[in-house]
Homo-oligomer: A and B are copies of this chain.
Amino acid sequence: MQTDPLPSWNEGISKSSILHFVEAVTTANGADFVPPSERIAVFDNDGTLWCEKPMYIQLDFTLRKLAAQAEGDPSLRSKQPWQASWEKDFDWLGGVITKHYQGDDSELQVLLAGILSLYEGQAVEQVEAAARDFIEKEQHPTLGRAYRKCIYQPMLELIRYLEANGFVNYIVSGGGRDFMRGFAQDLYGIPRERVIGSTVAYRYVESGDGGDIVQQAELDVIDDGPGKPIQIWNVIGRRPILAAGNSNGDLPMMAFAGGASLPALRLLVVHDDADREFNYVAGAEKVISVTQTLGWTAVSIQRDWQKVFPG
């Protein structure tokens, strides 16, 4: 008897779709065989590999930095995004993201400018160390667990299962790449060169010790929406055959999987479990509709996951 590679997945269409797909692409001489070099899997992070409510975990990290600045400089307390950070005005902050997915980026620009100012002049190693430290130590505000335990156990099992079958897994997230590089190896076993995300511009600063890579207060790449297939091509140069996401920003990446010549599995994590995680569709309306129309695989947290988080 074989060991179940996906013990946290309930039996059902989602689990069997994954198992059948992996069997099909790894069966030598099969109609859907894909050589290992082309077995690329891409995973969104927020809402796909770990939870993103009540706000992005990176946003919590960032807001605490902004609040600490406002603590030291009272003049910042009447200026966004420092004001919302200082007052813990989560309605203003949550609204920024919701409006973004509705196509209104006006407040996102204000938030971004504040966030970007935090990074000016920071060496990349500092940024990663701060992210690692935060994820190690801080707690999720409502779930009663450490942030590092807010990753989805079923997705972790999927990553390991794919690896064992010759896949190469990448994170492709709208979140900050350098933030994620701080913990992607520890949390997901995904090495830093396989972390794709949004980035600020760098400058190279010479020194006697080989020089430093230093961040600037300027966006370089927004890895969301059509930016996801573009960054996949920039970094990997291969079309993924498995793409997992949960929001409208993942739609182009999920559509991009497979293409005309390769088989593809597209997994949409649907947040429908208010008891164990969260229940929401905001920001995912379009990708849910496309998933239904095109017959992609909708993964219901409530029905498909026997267990949500690591024990």
Contact = CB atoms under 8 A, between A and B. Distances in A.
A6 interface: no
A203 B230 CA distance: 7
Interface in A83-130: 124
A189 interface: no
The CB with the most chain B CB atoms within 10 A, among A206, A237, A259, is that of A237
Interface string A181-196: 1000000000111010
A76 interface: no
A75 B230 CA distance: 35
B204 A230 contact: yes
B204 A234 contact: no
A202 B209 CA distance: 35
Contacts of A204: 226-227, 229-230, 252, 256
B206 A255 contact: yes
Contacts of A259: 209-211
A148 interface: no
B210 A255 contact: yes
B210 A258 contact: yes
A248 to B, nearest CB: 14
A241 B255 CA distance: 38
A21 B252 CA distance: 45
A37 B257 CA distance: 28
Contact of A210 (B124, B181, B227, B260): B260
Given A37-B191, A204-B226, A255-B206, A213 B238 contact: no
Contacts of A173: none
A193 B264 CA distance: 20
B209 A260 contact: yes
Given A206-B252, A234-B202, A237-B181, A213 B192 contact: no
A68 interface: no
A259 B210 CA distance: 5
Given A206-B252, A209-B260, A255-B206, A193 B238 contact: yes
Interface string A250-293: 00100111111000100000000000000000000000000000
A236 interface: yes
Contacts of A229: 204, 211, 213
Given A209-B260, A210-B255, A211-B252, A192 B238 contact: yes
Given A204-B230, A204-B252, A213-B229, A193 B260 contact: no
Contact of A226 (B124, B195, B203): B203
A199 to B, nearest CB: 7
A202 B233 contact: yes
Contacts of A264: 210
Nearest to A264: B210
Given A206-B252, A210-B255, A211-B256, A193 B235 contact: yes
